[in-house]
Each structure stands twice: as structure tokens, then as C-alpha cells.
Amino acid sequence: MLERSEPQKETYNLAVFNEYFPDGKIKELRPEEIPEDVMIYFELKSSELLMPEEYKPKNFEKFFVVTHPDNKQTFLAQQTKEYSKKILIEKVTYFADFENEKIMSRAELVFNTRCDKKYEKFFKNKPFVGWISTPRDVRKTGMAKRIILMMNAYSQAAYNLPLYSDTNFTDSGREFTEKLFPRNLKRDPTIAMCFNLKKQKNKFFPTI
């Protein structure tokens, strides 16, 4: 049996984004303002896990850019993605760091809005890190932390909900947690905010 999860209404309060991520400034863009290589990447991600007949080009609702103090930029694309006869519907936001005409770190923020009822409690009101990738040559430079903080800021701005980790979803997520956050939490407590640590049993992340 399928049932909609009563997701939070999108607010897209960009002032809230800047409150949670004061190190960058966000603004909405028109599709034609997105660099060509970034748009190709967004379309590639849009087509993933879909049958050819399900894929709809230009199926995006909003685009944004975050400009950082060093003038480097992160581009965002928001879409509603429907899988296999609407059995699963998700809000997906793609993040792409763009530097020297090259895509660097990439990530996906996923917010489930429809699924089989038996999974509803698991996903309800939990925007989560669906995927993240950082090039090896720029690891340990803070790029992964930065993109996660942006994902949380976007989740707060769009859904009025904190970001949840994927540590209960994938082995790579658990490994990422163990390697990155115990060390960074001691050095920089502000990163704890993006995982809503006050309300969960797990030492570092919410329990999904």
C-alpha cells in the first residue's frame, strides 16, 4: 500500500540558508545560467535509476549557486524524481563544486515523499545524504565538510528540517563517519549542528 509521507512544504528561505552557512552566499539562477558541463552532469544524475521511458529531460524545478569567499562556486539543482510507476517519489537536490571549468566535489540530498507504507516511518521527515564524492587530490582540505554543511543549510531552508546522515544506509557512509567526524567534532563543534546531535542516541548522527 502506498501512502504519501506529508512532507514539509518547501519554503526555499534563502536567508535561512545563509544563517546555517554564513561562509557563502546563495542565489537562484535561471537554467541558462548554469555552466554547460554542470548541466550535463545534472541531467546525467536525473536519468540515473530510471527506465528510458521514465527519464524527462529538463525535469528541474529550481537552480541555485553558492559563491564562496574565494569566489569558487557550488551549483545546485532541485527536482522531483519518480521511480517505476510512482512507487517511490523523492525530492533530490544535486550539488556540484565547480572550479577552473571542472566539477570537483559532488553530492545528493534526498528527501523521500512517497514510498511503500512499511518504509514510511523510516524515511518520514528525514532529508538525508544520499551520496557524496570528493576527488582524492583535494581530500582533507575541508571540501567534504563544506558540502555537507551546505546540504544541511539547504535542507533547513527548503524543508525546515535538519540533514540526516546515510550511515544506516551504506558501508561507505559508516566508514566516512568514522574517519571524518569523530576527529572534526573535537576540533570544530559547529559541524555537530548539521546532524541534530541533541535528539538522537547515536554518538555522532541521528538514527534514521
Q: Is 100 left (phi over 0), alpha (psi -120 to 50) or beta?
A: left
Cell reading at 41: 552532469
Angle, CA 80 vertex, CA 74 and CA 81 arms, to 5°: 105
pLDDT, residue 85, reads 66
In three-state secondary structure terms, 114 is strand
Amino acid at 47: S
Distance CA(22)–CA(106), nearest Å, equals 20
Contact between residue 117 and residue 2 where contact means Cβ atoms under 8 Å apart: yes
pLDDT, residue 202, reads 38
What pTM was estimated for this model as a whole? 0.76
Stretches in the chain below the pLDDT threshold 70: 1-11, 84-87, 116, 118-119, 166-208
Contact between residue 103 and residue 35 where contact means Cβ atoms under 8 Å apart: no
